[in-house]
Amino acid sequence: MRMYFCGSIRGGRQDVAIYQRIVRKLQEFGLVLTEHVSHADVSERGEDVELQGDLAIHDRDMQWLHTADVVVAEVTQPSLGVGYEVGRAVDMQKKILCLFRPSSGQVLSAMIRGADDGSPNSFVQVRDYAEDEVETVLDTYFSTFSSTV
């Protein structure tokens, strides 16, 4: 399984430790295309733009997104890039799991929460979770995933 993980970079790196937990768990299920999102040495300036350039980052990520079987987005720390990726993935009719921590005090955008119509078959599933249950939430989602893909 090919997975595209979304997490804030220029939107702020305060949740990088939880991104690492998510990516480690996802790697039990298959290939995480965007592992770099969880790297502690990627600062909120982003990847090395002098090497890559924003156009190259965007085009590489959109190519990966096209090839992904599933998208997992940690959406607690608001990020324009994550919102864009989720929107593009909806348009590509990808299965998308959005993970949100209410304990952050943030209120999730209606454009993300409202993309889940509440049915178990919705392509977009939004899950509220507490940090210490993240692995269980992923186990539960992926246990049903293979039978619905």
Ligand X SMILES: O=c1[nH]c(=O)n([C@H]2C[C@H](O)[C@@H](COP(=O)(O)O)O2)cc1CO
Q: State the residues that interact with ligand X by CB under 6 A.
A: 6-11, 34, 37, 46-47, 57, 61, 79-82, 85
Please state the closest distance from residue 112 (CB atom) to ligand X, in A: 14
Both structure tokens of 12:
């702020």
Please state the closest distance from residue 57 (CB atom) to ligand X, in A: 5
Both structure tokens of 46:
């982003």
Instruction: Show Cβ contacts of residue 10 under 8 Å, excluding neighbours closer than 6 positions.
Output: 44, 45, 46, 79, 80, 81
- Residue nearest to ligand X as judged by C-beta position: 81
- Which H or E run includes 31? strand 31-32
Question: Which of 51, 110 has the CB closer to ligand X?
Answer: 51
Please state the closest distance from residue 64 (CB atom) to ligand X, in A: 9
C-alpha to C-alpha distance for 62 and 53, rounded to whole angstroms = 14
Question: Which of 80, 144 has the CB closer to ligand X?
Answer: 80
Question: Which of 54, 117 has the CB closer to ligand X?
Answer: 54
Please state the closest distance from residue 42 (CB atom) to ligand X, in A: 7
As beta bridge partners, residue 31 has 2
DSSP secondary structure letters along 76-101: SS--HHHHHHHHHHHHTT-EEEEEE-
Question: Which of 9, 124 has the CB closer to ligand X?
Answer: 9
